[in-house]
Structure 1
Amino acid sequence: MAASSKLLLTGLASTLKQIALACQQDGFFQVKNHGISEATINNMLRLAIEFFNLPESERLKNYSDDPSVKNRLSTSFNVKTEKVANWRDFSDSIATLSKITSTNGLQIPHPSDDVPGLQVLRNGKWVAVHPIPYTFIVNIGDQMQVISNDRYKSVLHRAVVNRNKERISIPTFYCPSPDALIGPATVDRR
């Protein structure tokens, strides 16, 4: 094996250990160098700001709980899903994001601006997650806690209002079908 390949594998192993430790302790971590350009992230944030600056009556024209509607405003409560989603219409950026996580249950990405607002409960105290520009915040969520047999932690979190500056966040959730049975993964520890 070439020396450069060994260095790459050593760096990957170190990164994986850091991610595992963050999942075990905090249930959250931030991803940088993810392949999504700063321009794409800036455009997403700009469009979110433009949308939320529209009058409420205009925004509500886009409201729908119908998953077959390509572009819609919706809540995450009681949304009906299809067993097979139509992913053809997603952009290349979203396809790249899907490659970041090969495991079900991760809530990714969570691009946000530089305004703090996300907090996680650590040892009974709310701790602010300081946003790092152009990173994605990953919340492992309840499903990964189950799949990891409680090795990774799903932690309570909240978003708080910043009184001095608006905060923009664009969370995305990856979840299995409601019919899926989630249980601890079988791991061979040799």
Structure 2
Amino acid sequence: MALLVSSWSNGVQSVPKDYVMPPERRPGDFVSACNEIPVIDLQENPKIDRSDIVQQILKACQEFGLFQVINHGVSEKMMEDMRVLYHEFFNMPVDDKLRGYFEPWSTTGCSLYTSGVNYAKEDVHYWKDTLRHPCHPLEEHTPSWPEKPARYREEVGRYAVEVRKMGFKILDLIGEGLGLNEGYFNGVNQYQTMAINHYPLCPDPGLAMGIDGHTDPNLITFLQQDQYGLQMCKDGKWMGIDPIPNAFVVNIGYQLEIISNGKLKSAEHRVVTSSTTARTSIVTFFGPNAGLPIVVEPAKELVTSTSPKMFKSYQYNNFIADYLAYIRKPFPPSGTPLDPYRV
């Protein structure tokens, strides 16, 4: 069993050699924050036409594949409660945290692991610990969640419900912008899971990475962050995403790019470490259930003579298997996991 980074890294003076990234995978020079990333206000306002919000979101999805939302319906108190809860969780004694240590991509239970999805075969490790568990339907999954802190299941359960409401509100706005029928994504998104990533203080952020550049394989991702560390790649350049108090970062995944027939773009992103501030991000993933034979393909409404089909139809469980095989390779090949699915 690989020990959690947070169990041994406090006070270390140098990065262990198996956490030192090769030069081409290091974060590089200082990356300035990007002020162009859209911040979209979802608060209902009679002075703002709904179509304006729809177009803001659609433009952000097309240009960046990523945006931030405020006034989204998840209360400030609930978001603060999550910050406090996970600070407490990752500062518990390691024996209290390690109640389960399973396959990181398990769809049935809770897992707590370090680095990436293939620790034993990694050429170098990431400077992070991750707690991951499914959260819909709640009654099926809460029994596998952590028992400590004692309020965990109650508070995280309420949070998962509110994030789900926000998520479908945003998906409906995206669907409206694409010209899809109302509720289109209800049939695509059967799965919701959370991943809480903890990045402890790192003695030399120039040598280590929280996680390499990647694009999410799911439908759409909602990120609560309170400390800087998230960066995205646009036009071949990395740019920083400064946290906005009580905002969510919304990140387009591969499945939404495919369903939109390439009209929306998934965002490549990564996380850098810090020598001054530990960072904990609370991530919620929406997507198809890989345990079911669900077919994903470009929406038929978006395939026309002038916009031909860009991606093949496929079963989502096959896509996830290919995606995991791709990212588990010690040295991923050129291209992207999407390439075999292009027409």
- Distance in 2 (alpha carbons) for counterparts of 1:126 and 1:183: 30
Q: How many angstroms does 1:133 deviate by?
A: 0.7
Count of matched residue pairs: 175
Match of 2:288 in 1: 176
Q: How many angstroms does 1:68 deviate by?
A: 4.6
% identical equivalent positions: 33
Equivalent residue of 2:88, what SS? helix
- State how 1:54-69 maps to structure 2 within 5 Å: 54-65=92-103, 67-69=107-109
2:241 pairs, out of 119, 129, 136, with: 129
- Distance in 2 (alpha carbons) for counterparts of 1:140 and 1:63: 29
- Distance in 1 (alpha carbons) for counterparts of 2:260 and 2:229: 28
Confirm or deny that 1:11 pairs with 2:77: no
For normalisation by structure 1, the TM-score amounts to: 0.80
Question: Structure 1: where are the runs of 5+ without partners?
Answer: 1-6
- State how 1:1-190 maps to structure 2 within 5 Å: 8=46, 10-65=48-103, 67-69=107-109, 72-74=110-112, 77=117, 86-88=137-139, 91-102=157-168, 103=185, 104=189, 105-108=219-222, 110-113=223-226, 115-178=227-290, 179-187=293-301
- Distance in 2 (alpha carbons) for counterparts of 1:93 and 1:161: 27
Equivalent residue of 1:172, what SS? strand
Q: How many angstroms does 1:96 deviate by?
A: 2.3
Whichever residue aligns with residue 137 of structure 2, its letter is N
CA deviation vs aligned residue, 1:55-83 (integer Å, no higher than 9, x gap): 333211243456554xx3346859xx99x
Equivalent residue of 1:158, what SS? strand
Q: How many angstroms does 1:188 deviate by?
A: 6.8
CA deviation vs aligned residue, 1:67-108 (integer Å, no higher than 9, x gap): 554xx3346859xx99xx533357343222212233331112
- Distance in 1 (alpha carbons) for counterparts of 2:286 and 2:241: 21
- Distance in 1 (alpha carbons) for counterparts of 2:299 and 2:79: 34
Relative contact order, CA 8 A, sep 6+: which one is greater?
1
Question: Structure 2: where are the runs of 5+ without partners?
Answer: 1-44, 119-132, 143-155, 169-184, 190-218, 304-343
Alpha-carbon RMSD: 2.7
CA contact (8 A) 2:64 2:234 kept: yes
With over 3 angstroms needed to count, the CA separation of the structure-2 counterparts of 1:177 and 1:68, relative to structure 1, is: closer
- Distance in 2 (alpha carbons) for counterparts of 1:77 and 1:86: 24
- Distance in 1 (alpha carbons) for counterparts of 2:95 and 2:258: 41
CA contact (8 A) 1:141 1:155 kept: yes
